[in-house]
Amino acid sequence: MKATEKNIILNHEEIVHKIRRIAYQIYESNVDEDEIILAGIDTNGYILAEKLKAALSKISNINPILCRVVIDKKNPLNPITTSLAVSEYANKSIVLIDDVLNSGTTLIYGVKHFLNAPLKQFKTAVLVNRNHKKYPVKADFKGISLSTSLHEHVDVVLTGKSFEAYLN
């Protein structure tokens, strides 16, 4: 495959279906909750969280609250910031969301950040789960799992009129 070619692994319709399915799984896991925090890792994780919020709002009475999580992916030990104060997510059910789970670095540091507060429940959701983890972190809710080589890269496009996930 040429460097400029891309191998589509999820097309627009498949991504919309995966989002709806993940929303149902989140609902089933939180059926007794009045509200839930959807904490999306900036940038694509937050966009996915927005789409999950819309899907969850259509299928349940749960009030999904969005939270933007900003992590320096190159230096994850740098301070992590969130759009919600600790008091706004303490003792609540949280789903930490990212588009792709690669090595697990971003997700594990995101989890670590939220563990500084008492939580009712903590789950993770990703659209694409890859099998190259260097940390013991897993996605509770996932759209698709892929076995890929370390040299391949998964890109997810969730903006515009047509969503896609592709391998390059």
- Confirm whether 106 is domain-assigned: yes
- Confirm whether 111 is domain-assigned: yes
- Confirm whether 160 is domain-assigned: no
- Confirm whether 30 is domain-assigned: yes
Summarize pLDDT for 93-148 with one digit per residue, the tens: 999 999 999 889 999 999 999 999 999 999 999 999 987 778 888 899 999 999 88
Contacts 24+ apart (CB under 8 A), 1-6: 1/168, 3/168, 5/168, 6/155, 6/166, 6/167, 6/168
- Confirm whether 3 is domain-assigned: no
Structural domain harbouring 98: 13-147
pLDDT surpassing 80 at residue 74:
yes
- State the pTM of this model: 0.93
- Confirm whether 157 is domain-assigned: no
Summarize pLDDT for 17-45 with one digit per residue, the tens: 999 999 999 999 999 999 999 999 999 99
The band of 48, judged by pLDDT with boundaries at 50, 70 and 90, is very high
Structure token pair of residue 168: 């390059």
- Confirm whether 68 is domain-assigned: yes
**CATH number of 115's domain:** 3.40.50.2020
> What is the count of structural domains for the chain?
1
- Confirm whether 166 is domain-assigned: no
Tell me how long the chain is. 168
Mean pLDDT throughout 1-29?
88
Sheet of strand 63-70: strand arrangement: 81-82, 63-70, 35-41, 93-101, 121-130, 141-146
